[in-house]
A = this chain, B = another copy of it.
Amino acid sequence: MTSTRPRRRADAERSIARITAAARDLLSRDPDATIDAIAEAAGVGRMTLYGHFKTRADLVEAALVAVLEAGEATLSAVDLSGDARDALSRLLASSWELVAESAALLASAQGVLPAGRIRELHGGAGDRVAELVRRGRDQGVFRTDLPVDWLVNVVQYVLHGAAEEHRGGRIATADAARIVDATVQSVLAAPSHNPHT
């Protein structure tokens, strides 16, 4: 992203930033949000938006890229060393809202962007969580009786569900982190004994 854009004015840059922010915000809640609505939320005219994003798919992709980059930044800022359970707690605490949002946006993009493109963009995010899960297995603190991919997906689903419940006001912001952590830890934990069967 360095250097020679022949000519892009500062206000244009600002408009683009506001549009992608609004797109992230609205598309996370309603996958079918109107371009009009996004433009209005961004505080720009519809035609301005079209000036920067030729088609709806372009806009969705831009929003997805933005949120995934933010997610990557957050993930890489978290200390993932030490006990995998503690690392997981730190990861969830600092990023559960963001990850949940990215999941919603991902679902938004599902039918608008080609599947290959999505997987390409999403690539790194899930891999990092998978890596953490694998490390926890090697430490003997995470379960080995279920596939890693499935466990990673369950984490996603729990986060998504928590975000939805939170938006609906059915769980408070203060409790959310604790609830998410307790739930996810239970799913990943290695069975301490043989509790049943």
B interface footprint on A141-160 (CB within 8 Å = 1, 0 otherwise): 00101110110011011101
Say how many copies of this protein the assembly contains: 2
Given contacts A182-B146, A186-B187, contact A161 B171 (CB under 8 A): no
Given contacts A186-B187, A187-B187, A192-B192, contact A179 B158 (CB under 8 A): no
| Bound form: Cα–Cα A193–B192 in Å | 8
B interface footprint on A170-187 (CB within 8 Å = 1, 0 otherwise): 110000000100110111
In the assembled complex, A116 has its CB within 8 A of some CB on chain B: no
In the assembled complex, A36 has its CB within 8 A of some CB on chain B: no
Give the residue name and chain of the B residue nearest to A184 (CB).
Answer: B187
Within 8 A of B (CB), among A10-50: 30, 32
In the assembled complex, A189 has its CB within 8 A of some CB on chain B: yes
Q: Tell me if A157 and B147 are in contact (CB < 8 A).
A: no
Would you list the 7 A-B pairs with minimal beta carbon distance, nearest first?
Answer: A157-B161, A157-B157, A192-B192, A186-B187, A186-B186, A85-B196, A153-B161
Q: Which residues in A have some Cβ–Cβ distance to B below 8 Å?
A: 30, 32, 85, 111, 143, 145-147, 149-150, 153-154, 156-158, 160-161, 165, 170-171, 179, 182-183, 185-187, 189, 191-193, 195-196
In addition to A150-B165, A154-B183, A183-B187, 11 A-B residue pairs with Cβ atoms within 8 Å of each other are A32-B32, A85-B196, A146-B183, A147-B171, A147-B179, A153-B161, A156-B161, A157-B157, A186-B189, A189-B195, A192-B193
